[in-house]
Structure 1
Amino acid sequence: GVWAQDWCGKRITSFGKRVFWNWQWNENWYPNLKEKIVEWQHLYRGCRFLAYINPYIAADGSLFQEANEKKFLVRHLQPADAVYVIDFGEFNGAIVDLTNPEAFKWYKNVIRRNLLDLGISGWMADFGEYLPCDVHVYANIPGALVHNLWPILWARCNYEAIRDAGKSNEVVFFMRSGYLNVQRYCPLFWTGDQVVNFSHDAGLSVGIRSSLSLSLSHVLAVHMDIGGYFGRTIGRTREVLLRWCEIAAFNVIMRTHEGNRPLSNTQFDSDQFCIKFFARMSRIHAHLKPYSLHVIQEASRQGKSCITPHTELQYFFGKDLLIAPVVDAEVNTLTVTIPDGQWVHLWTRKAYDKHQCEIEVPLGQPAVFYRSTGEWTSLFEQIHLF
């Protein structure tokens, strides 16, 4: 699939590249998009086009004018009835009041008319966690009380827009915010904005910790932006991008992000090495589709997550794959804690019993093991041929 976050346009700020939050197809950036979406589906074996939306609208966009006229926006407590406008970093935005039934219906129609009717098959439903506490909403609930419920309303808005269009089995969206029982509306999450490096306070390893934390809340599926997102004074190296790619190949979702400063970051197509690396890892990810579908079905049936922790940074994908990701630069070997039973190293096909072992981890061969007695061994055994 193709994920184009800037399908509705972009703006450049000191932060970097930002999406123009006016949720309408930008014909200058993506001419003939509706026809292209159909063309890509036919040419590239069902290739789907994914986009981006969030619960805010830019104050300099046409949707703001419409929502403001209809009084569909969150208001200030003081001065009363003034639209609550937020500075998002050199541009202003307002919040659609999702407690207002008519505003909720209107925003669902925006999603249906401007995304679904265009042929878009999914999107990042960003934010949801930023409702200020000093707001007045239609439901007349204090902002501090409705704050945690806002991600649920946002998830439900996306869910119902898809359901009402009759596309529940065709369209997917993913979020980063949530609250109790958000899985009812959104089973797919990503870990938010990691820094584009190996730092242990905000980089690659933090994304893994976030994933495992979400898994303990029984979120069905969690993934990361390959390569991270945030970088101001630093750029993304090829090594961190490829290590992130390795991890994503052995998960339900494999999705890249160019980052907020794309020109400072190594991208999947920056050179031939990266292109070939991503192509190979994508083939492995596609090869694992039968297993991934099985993992999703089992996790959904049991009300659990597709990944579960083994150690602080090592985890299981389903029951039959053990993943020990590389989270530091210039690492050649990794200490792996083998669990009970016999586990086979994916690349050498050497079997290991329960203990700690040192495993070589060259780029393109992450420390992945499969259960020797599992029902998917024949599928896993073919991966070393890629």
Structure 2
Amino acid sequence: MEKKINLIITPQEYNQANHNELWNEISEKSDGITIILNIGADFFISLARGKFFRVKEAINGPKILKNNLILLRPFYILRPEISNNMVNRFNAKLLKQSLKKIVENIEEYQINVLYYDGIWPTFLDELKLNTKYYYYIMDEVRNDAHNNKTNLKRTRHDKIACEKSDYIYLMSTKLIDKRREYLHKLKVIGNGASQKEYDLNVKKLNNSVGIIGNIRNWVDCDLLTRLIEKRQDIHFGFVGNIESDMQEYMDGILTTYKNVKYYGKVSKGEVHNWYKKFDVILVPYKQNEFMKATRPIKIVESIFASTPAVSIPITGYEECSFIRFAKTVKEFSSEIDYLINNKINIESREYQDFIKLNSWSYKAEEILNEFK
């Protein structure tokens, strides 16, 4: 039997990554070794941004998470994402040396790489190893989220990655539109979730909607403000990190409206309890082609916590009794009322099928089925 390694390149810090449960499931269901390549440390970006922990972890070497699951913080001269070809030849040598400390005879293995950024296959070619590429496209990377304008650099990398990859996993059906020449190697996977142990002391906030996650310029501030103003009877709770360009907006609504409260940042391990607190989870994003291609993880996580969600129309989910779509303030208001008055029936076939097909365990099997 051919020896194989799963190499997973994270798009976020491992401990905070949306997909870390997926990667753990892949390691559980796969034979051989799974190596998770965390965000790299380097001489410049890590130090300039005060990310000294990255340098320390890179020096300390790989960390064994489970018997066949290893977390590696690579060290580069300069992060590959912003390096030129010459620097990346040296970066690739550094990475290969780090991998050989885990698997000395790595040249004898087939390496299946799961990655999320279009720059990686070109870089990894420099390793000169037996490598197959599996590209996971999280959203329409060819466009900028806040204004839907084409991003030429990411478009170029995405096209190269699509061409080089042995298989491509997509977050939503909308992402097929610009990649129809690759239909033979496309599969819509989407975000998943896992069932959690919930704190028994979690208390519901009556007549409440939650806006959970990174509070950034994806939010349609005008629509949300008018909804808050219209529904003074509803409590609007914000949970998560506030991006700097959203701080002024948040300060404004917190000062102006008594039915708004910010609950602060929470860890990945705590967020599931917050889904339980609210009657409805709200996704009031801007409505453009980029957003149509999304599949926010907060929706599937909320449904797993048996809390329904109302969102702008997106192709990452199908509308059902516990996921409702809305475009206007009036529609959002109406759907909030509907969901507050119609709780999720967790015994229904509709709900049970959703849980089964959207578990990280099921998603891991779908991904591994395409690994050759």
Q: Same fold (TM over 0.5)?
A: no
Larger helix proportion, structure 1 or 2?
2
Structure with greater contact order relative to length (CA < 8 Å, sep ≥ 6): 2
- TM class, shorter-chain normalised? 0.3 to 0.5
Q: What TM-score, normalized to structure 1? A: 0.32
TM-score, normalised via structure 2 length:
0.33
